[in-house]
Structure 1
């Protein structure tokens, strides 16, 4: 974190879990324990030269390596250093991505029938947690950025209104920042939620770097949130699937949280992934700022250099924005063009060896990090400058934004946990208008459901899915990942109204 003293930095130079694994390897032990590759002695001949160094560290719970589910040694110390670095009272390593943390938090705060106030444009894991907990979601429609047409965060006044209308809600669960890097004023949001005596839970998957450089927004922990889940692998240097869960204050039942983490996490967690969390924390505290000092001016030059292109717009937070902060590491290209789509631009980029994070009809998102090189940025700038694209009138962007906002206003005809187990049938997507959806339709990335089980398909939702399908979007949560067909509740169940399926404000 910013402004820490010399003693803090001295402690943070340690990487206790990684150091213990290295000490064990140097002993040249005889591994009569799992895993079966025996520290790399038996492995695919062709792949061994790539994996050998990692396989030596791929250990299990033996003397000296501690146990993630009952940490008392080097894992406990590594988690304590992480808590200190991220400003939390307690940190838990997650070997299963932020998904595990989101599930555990929702199961911790909600019992069957409990209400939870949720941002509608949240990750699919939040919906899965609600279904597993059999909780009743109160959905908050996000504000839509008129300049780009994408959904941002929720307004404080909408959260306040929901809390007044549902005083029995057990928690507020928000996403900050969004996939696109847009954020809200979390300090003020936490004050609103805490006035009602319940916890504020934050999916901070894309904000593990927040608070570690003056150019970045404050983190959820710095802003007073009760719990935050971070994908330490997304924007900083941990390996894929490696995440952290940070907790502070007394509004979270930590013993209940530990029990659910024990149920949801593997009993054979990867020591390689846990060690990468240990090292990512150390790198974040001791080395990353210098790398960002190099990178951030280059990102500014990229935006300045390509900002003259009439067909391209770089979003930024301003007085009229619906978001309060914007992550400078997110290169969010808003295309003001009539002759190229985001899907087409992604395809063109990939032909030139540039692989973005995601695209849609009018945007391409690229995620930079401390690992982004000047060569990467130069290749991107040259490609963008080489394109000659005609520009549409500005009013088209406002119309698009209005359509985007409608994606979050669908009728929840049947509770999610009821709909997932109800009798279903498969029909052509084009025939689904008015039907109750039986599966979660998730364009991936970003992994935000546009329909959830129990919602009724409307004309705007169907039109959007047809457009995404034309753009060859990948879909998760559905039986047919090409979305030629979709599963809906059987016609005899279409009038089913048992229970309350979630409220929208």
Structure 2
């Protein structure tokens, strides 16, 4: 989707931070500074061969390397190039994943007691940010996609009604796209939110590649959001933990945001991760489109083949969809069989060398990217083709539409931060009905809390948690990882 001048392309060919690190390494300097491995001279013998090519780039804030927390040199230049590429007024590199970006945004817009309108199926980092800021969340429950049974994005009319009921809210925070690649019309949503004079904040963790190819949806910045946090390592090519925060407009106090980032990001950020952000931006602008042009027909053929199987279907846009965009690189397998759950299918795939992104009771999510090969796709198809579970009618699907969304309709009895700090006791999960949660219960992935501190545990969510536990789902946020017990307000 980029249509830029010759000067733009000339600037974007540069990777100033990475190039500075390379020049310094070629000098073969004598490092009397941290880190202690001294550009690889001292390291575990067995691991040294694997890591030795990157040791010289693992720098610290020596002369010429700039400082992430006060950027004035090559980091500032790299961030400016990223802002230009992503269509932002300002971009901040994040070392700590999108988590630190989400938390910092909430700290920037909310003071204790302030209201913030939040999509209830946000990532756990959003809830943690609300707890740290001691803000008051006003939840909007997402629409459920009837074709897959998963919670998708927010309806604009639901957000507008919530804004009318809470005119003192300081911001709207939503997720777009979802983990499954589903998205809403952000242009209309931004216009709605801005009529109330507050910023639209977007967790765009899974959309770092958006806006860089005609087959992809527009990015949050292109749609008018005030801030977007992207996990550049998820669907683009940065190293894991490397993310970006993009900002535009005057509705966010950027000084307060900078102070929040300084508090929650390491004072010793990894230059390897920072350099990977510099290179990932250049790759998105200069090279990724060619790789996607190769991949898209391969995935289209895979979709046709999967369409011939009677026990599984792929998520797809239709006139009945509650979402308006779908990431072509996210392949969500929806199971229509009694013989397999998403978890058992995941296990079968992994036993044969194919590792999905995530599974739940009725789905397996596969995340392709510019790095996905024909060999990868062929291996997946061979396994799916060999499986022949008995198909089931749509009316008896394992994971019925509506279960996930209704699981978000909890009674918030007390503020999250108060419930997390209050007295607590441990009870068997089966005995928790009616009690007030004191811990966050987060099936992971995708990292979306089913319970947050202060919510009343009802029978419906209890049954869902028991079913997830029986399927050996992993949980974050809980003291007992197998969810045999749960902590509740005493």
Where on the TM-score scale, by shorter chain, does this alignment land: which range? Answer: over 0.9
**Shift of residue 398 of structure 1?**
10
**Shift of residue 405 of structure 1?**
2.0
Is 1:161 paired with 2:172? no
SS in structure 2 at match of 1:91: strand
Paired residue total: 490
**Shift of residue 301 of structure 1?**
0.3
TM-score by length of 1: 0.96
Q: Deviations over 1:76-111 (max 9, x none)?
A: 000000000000000000000000000000000000
- Name the structure 2 match of 1:388: 388
Instruction: Give the Cα–Cα distance (whole angstroms) in 2 for the partners of residues 9 and 488 of structure 1.
Output: 56
Q: Deviations over 1:194-226 (max 9, x none)?
A: 011100000000000000001110000000000
> Is the CA contact 1:146–1:397 (under 8 Å) kept in the aligned structure 2?
no
Instruction: Give the Cα–Cα distance (whole angstroms) in 2 for the partners of residues 468 and 175 of structure 1.
Output: 23
- Name the structure 1 match of 2:110: 110
Q: Deviations over 1:374-404 (max 9, x none)?
A: 0000000111111111122212349811222
- Name the structure 1 match of 2:17: 17
- Name the structure 2 match of 1:502: none
Instruction: Give the Cα–Cα distance (whole angstroms) in 1 for the partners of residues 260 and 415 of structure 2.
Output: 23
- Name the structure 1 match of 2:463: 463
**Shift of residue 5 of structure 1?**
2.3
Q: Deviations over 1:282-311 (max 9, x none)?
A: 000000000000001100000001111011
- Name the structure 2 match of 1:223: 223
Instruction: Give the Cα–Cα distance (whole angstroms) in 2 for the partners of residues 131 and 95 of structure 1.
Output: 21
- What is the RMSD computed on CA atoms of the aligned residues? 0.9
- Name the structure 2 match of 1:274: 274
TM-score by length of 2: 0.99
Instruction: Give the Cα–Cα distance (whole angstroms) in 2 for the partners of residues 418 and 396 of structure 1.
Output: 41
- Name the structure 1 match of 2:447: 447
- Name the structure 2 match of 1:139: 139
> Is the CA contact 1:148–1:397 (under 8 Å) kept in the aligned structure 2?
no
Instruction: Give the Cα–Cα distance (whole angstroms) in 2 for the partners of residues 294 and 406 of structure 1.
Output: 40
**Shift of residue 338 of structure 1?**
1.2
SS in structure 2 at match of 1:56: helix
Q: Deviations over 1:394-433 (max 9, x none)?
A: 1234981122221010111111010000000111111111
Instruction: Give the Cα–Cα distance (whole angstroms) in 2 for the partners of residues 410 and 74 of structure 1.
Output: 48
- Name the structure 2 match of 1:360: 360
Instruction: Give the Cα–Cα distance (whole angstroms) in 1 for the partners of residues 124 and 216 of structure 2.
Output: 26
Instruction: Give the Cα–Cα distance (whole angstroms) in 2 for the partners of residues 178 and 226 of structure 1.
Output: 18
- Name the structure 2 match of 1:429: 429
SS in structure 2 at match of 1:62: coil
**Shift of residue 132 of structure 1?**
0.6
Instruction: Give the Cα–Cα distance (whole angstroms) in 1 for the partners of residues 398 and 385 of structure 2.
Output: 26
Instruction: Give the Cα–Cα distance (whole angstroms) in 1 for the partners of residues 202 and 439 of structure 2.
Output: 25
Where do 5+ consecutive residues of structure 1 fail to align? 491-505
Instruction: Give the Cα–Cα distance (whole angstroms) in 2 for the partners of residues 207 and 403 of structure 1.
Output: 26
Q: Deviations over 1:38-85 (max 9, x none)?
A: 010000000000111111110000011000001010000000000000
Greater Cα offset, 239-248 or 406-415: 406-415
> Is the CA contact 1:316–1:326 (under 8 Å) kept in the aligned structure 2?
yes
Instruction: Give the Cα–Cα distance (whole angstroms) in 2 for the partners of residues 220 and 88 of structure 1.
Output: 10
Is 1:123 paired with 2:102? no
Flag as ranges the 4+ runs of structure 1 deviating above 4 A: none
Instruction: Give the Cα–Cα distance (whole angstroms) in 1 for the partners of residues 446 and 246 of structure 2.
Output: 23
Q: Deviations over 1:338-381 (max 9, x none)?
A: 11111110000001100001101110001000000000000001
- Name the structure 1 match of 2:486: 486
> Is the CA contact 1:149–1:398 (under 8 Å) kept in the aligned structure 2?
no
Counterpart mapping for 1:3-402 below 5 A = 3-397=3-397, 400-402=400-402
> Is the CA contact 2:438–2:489 (under 8 Å) kept in the aligned structure 1?
yes
Instruction: Give the Cα–Cα distance (whole angstroms) in 1 for the partners of residues 282 and 396 of structure 2.
Output: 47
CA shift in 2, pair 1:3/1:272, >3 Å: same
> Is the CA contact 1:429–1:484 (under 8 Å) kept in the aligned structure 2?
yes
SS in structure 1 at match of 2:346: helix
